[in-house]
Amino acid sequence: MFDHYPGLAPACFIGYERTACAGDDDLRITFDEDVRYRTERLSLDGGIDGTPLNPPGYVVMEVKYPGGSPLWLAEAFSRRGIFPKSMSKYGIAFTEHIAIGGQDPCSSPSSSLR
C-alpha cells in the first residue's frame, strides 16, 4: 500500500467518539467528543484509550458542504457567535506530545519521514 514510502509507519493513534449527521442537500456535520491520542500501541486493535486533547465537555464540530455553506446555516452560526476555525487533531496531538517531552517521530535517526 505504501510502496512509494518504504519504512513509513504509524506515529500516533487518534481516537474520538463521533456523532455524524447528514442532510438532504449534501450537508454533513460531525461532532467529535472525547478526542484523545497515544504514541504507543498504534495498532487499531490496541484499544481506544489515550491522553485527552480537549477539556471535558469540549466538542469539535466539523461542517462539510460542497461549495459554500448554505446561507441559513451561516446565519444560524453567526447569530450564536460560531465562526470557522481550522484545526488538526493530529497536529494538536503532535504539539502536545512534544510539549510534554516526547520525541519527535520525524527526528529519529531510523525514521524515513525526514
Segment 52-104, tens digit of pLDDT = 988 899 999 999 888 888 899 899 999 999 988 888 888 888 888 888 776 66
**Is 106 a domain residue?**
no
**Is 83 a domain residue?**
yes
Best CA proximity match to 104, nearest among 92, 93, 112, 94: 94
- Rounded to 5 degrees, what angle do the CA atoms 91, 33, 81 make? 85
pLDDT tens digits along 41-52: 888 888 889 999
Domain count, the chain: 1
Domain of 18 in residue numbering reads as 13-99
Residue 69 to residue 104: CA distance in whole angstroms: 37
pLDDT category, 110, cuts 50, 70, 90?
Answer: very low
**Is 42 a domain residue?**
yes
Best CA proximity match to 37, nearest among 107, 104, 95, 103: 95
**pTM, entire model:** 0.74
**Is 81 a domain residue?**
yes
